[in-house]
Homo-oligomer: A and B are copies of this chain.
Amino acid sequence: MSKEIGFIGLGSMGMPMAGNLAKAGYAVRAYNRTRKSGLREGIVAVENPRQAAAAGVVVTMVADDAALRAVCEGEGGLLAGLPHDGLHISMSTVAPATVQALAGEHARRGQRFVSAPVFGRPQAAAAAQLWIVAGGADAALAQAAPVFAALGQGHFHVGPKPESANIVKLGGNFLIAAMLEALGEVYALGRKAGLAPAELLKIYNTALFKSPIYENYGRLAAEARFDPPGFKLRLGLKDLRLVLQAAQALETPMPLASLIHDHMLAGVARGLGELDWAALTRVLAENAGCT
């Protein structure tokens, strides 16, 4: 593998990830729609996704399905720039259907494709502590392995279909949202009974869950610290929508996903969309008449 790599998408996740690739010795050709300068040593800005993809291996980490399609298509796009046998590692949280369609495009061009969304927030990205869920052919995965090693603490190979990785990723976000929904309902009940959410959390996470993620999100919710957001409610809503689309396509009723979706939608409709998605719990408190 060439030590050159392309990287597309320098947001709050992509920037530290590109940095870790540079630290690991890669010469990074980075493309971002808006940001062109102020990049650390080892990262060079290029003009378009096509130039990034010309490196032979290219990582994409963009905001949503539309952004992913935008950087892939067209004259200056990734698909046009990636050489035959080149590898695209798509790490964005996007719809399985989008990934499936993109995989077909790459196959038609004789290009390799791995879908590899991640678990972890910007801090984990900076510390190269992401968990990576990867779907794709064995050979492509083998080629991607050193990249994964530079970015995370481990990866899971979930089979040859790239879109499987996105189902797993969306399922994980759904599980977190389900935890928030459940905590939010119990907190509202507790508040009505004169029991402080923080005290409830301490009991439940000591006696039952012993889980850092209950600790972190449970505390955000108990203290109503929703601003600045780590992950915005309107993005959580988008992910729940993607979960439900996947569930629809696979003919799987997911009534809890529907319930959470509707509560998030109520939150966005009431003006909470730019807060942290733990503000889902505020919707539940308001429904109970807590102010």
Instruction: Identify A119's interface contact among B181, B207, B247, CB under 8 A.
Output: B207
Contact status B207-A210, CB under 8 Å: no
With an 8 A cutoff between CB atoms, is A68 at the interface?
no
With an 8 A cutoff between CB atoms, is A256 at the interface?
yes
Complex CA–CA separation, A209 to B172 (angstroms): 10
- Per DSSP, chain A at the interface is helix
With an 8 A cutoff between CB atoms, is A38 at the interface?
no
Instruction: Identify A288's interface contact among B154, B171, B182, B269, CB under 8 A.
Output: B269
Contact status B188-A252, CB under 8 Å: yes
Contact status B195-A158, CB under 8 Å: yes
B-contact bits for A261-291, CB 8 A (1 contact / 0 none): 1110110111100000000000010011100
With an 8 A cutoff between CB atoms, is A214 at the interface?
yes
B-contact bits for A203-238, CB 8 A (1 contact / 0 none): 110111111111000000000000000000000000
Closest to A163 in B: B193
With an 8 A cutoff between CB atoms, is A69 at the interface?
no
Complex CA–CA separation, A195 to B246 (angstroms): 14
| CB within 8 Å for A175 and B204 given contacts A211-B211, A252-B265, A263-B253 | yes
Q: What would 19 more interface pairs be, CB under 8 Å, given A119-B208, A172-B207, A251-B265?
A: A119-B207, A156-B202, A158-B203, A159-B195, A161-B194, A167-B193, A167-B195, A171-B200, A171-B204, A174-B182, A174-B185, A175-B204, A179-B179, A193-B246, A209-B213, A247-B265, A253-B266, A266-B287, A270-B287
